[in-house]
C-alpha cells in the first residue's frame, strides 16, 4: 500500500478519537457514588476511562474516571473516584500541593493564586481547592472538590476560562443530588 493511501486510511480510522459524544439534556446518574446531575448547556459527555498510572506519592489506588464533560479545551469538568482507607486529610493536602506545584512546573511565568475552603454539594461537605491561573491576558480557573464518601475519595474538577461558564458549572453542582 502506498504511504499516502495508508496515511489517509489511518486518518479516517482515528478521526473520531478524542471527540465528544453529544448528549441530550437531562439528568445523568453516576451509580457508583449515587450522584445525579444535569449537564450544563453546550457541554458534551466524553467517554470516561480509567487512569493508567497510579499516584504512589499519595498512597492511593489509581483513580477511576466516571465522567468527563467538555464544552471546549479550556472549559470542562470530570468526576473521579478512588477507593480509599486511611489518612484522607493528609493525602488530600498532598494532592493540593502536587497540583499547585505541577502548575508552577508546567507553566513557568504564570501568575497563580490558590485558596482552600469548604463547600457543600447536595448535602455532602467537600474540600474546595481553587487555583486561578493568569497567562498574559488569559484567565483560567481550576476548582477541585474532594471528599471521602462511601469509602471513595471523590474528586470533581471544574475548569473554566469564562466566568459565565463557571456559573453554569456551579449551577450544575448546586442542583445535583446525592442518594441518601
Residue 137 lies in a domain: yes
Q: Within the chain, where are the H helices?
A: 3-14, 88-106, 163-174
Nearest to 41 by CA among 26, 29, 28: 26
- Check: CB of residue 34 under 8 Å from CB of residue 178: yes
Residue 117 lies in a domain: yes
Confidence (pLDDT) at 121:
96
Question: Residue 167: how many CB atoms within 10 A of its CB?
Answer: 13
- What CATH number did the domain enclosing 94 receive? 3.40.1000.10
Confidence (pLDDT) at 127:
96
- Which range marks the domain in which residue 114 is found? 28-178
Average pLDDT over residues 102-119: 91
Confidence (pLDDT) at 81:
93
Q: Give pLDDT tens digits for 8-55.
A: 322 232 223 333 344 445 788 998 899 999 988 889 888 655 333 333
Residue 1 lies in a domain: no
pLDDT bracket for residue 137 (50, 70, 90): confident
Instruction: Domain count for the chain, please give it.
Output: 1
Residue 12 lies in a domain: no
- Check: CB of residue 142 under 8 Å from CB of residue 154: no
Confidence (pLDDT) at 52:
33
**Which grid cell sits at 64?**
477511576
Instruction: Report the distance separating Cα 143 and Cα 29, nearest Å.
Output: 21
Q: Give pLDDT tens digits for 47-101.
A: 655 333 333 444 446 789 999 999 998 999 999 999 887 788 888 899 999 999 9
C-alpha 101, offset from chain centre:
18
Amino acid at each position: 500500500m502506498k504511504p499516502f493511501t495508508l496515511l489517509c486510511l489511518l486518518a479516517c480510522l482515528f478521526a473520531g478519537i478524542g471527540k465528544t459524544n453529544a448528549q441530550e439534556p437531562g439528568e445523568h446518574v453516576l451509580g457508583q457514588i449515587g450522584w445525579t446531575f444535569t449537564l450544563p448547556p453546550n457541554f458534551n459527555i466524553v467517554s470516561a476511562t480509567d487512569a493508567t498510572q497510579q499516584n504512589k506519592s499519595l498512597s492511593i489506588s489509581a483513580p477511576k474516571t466516571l465522567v468527563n464533560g467538555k464544552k471546549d479545551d479550556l472549559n470542562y469538568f470530570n468526576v473521579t473516584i478512588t477507593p480509599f482507607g486511611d489518612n484522607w486529610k493528609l493525602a488530600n493536602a498532598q494532592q493540593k500541593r502536587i497540583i499547585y506545584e505541577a502548575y508552577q512546573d508546567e507553566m513557568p511565568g504564570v501568575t497563580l493564586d490558590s485558596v482552600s475552603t469548604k463547600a457543600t454539594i447536595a448535602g455532602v461537605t467537600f474540600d474546595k481547592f481553587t487555583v486561578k491561573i493568569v497567562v498574559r491576558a488569559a484567565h483560567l480557573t481550576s476548582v477541585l472538590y474532594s471528599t471521602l464518601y462511601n469509602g471513595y475519595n471523590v474528586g470533581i474538577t471544574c475548569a473554566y476560562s469564562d466566568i459565565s461558564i463557571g456559573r453554569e458549572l456551579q449551577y450544575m453542582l448546586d442542583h445535583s443530588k446525592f442518594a441518601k
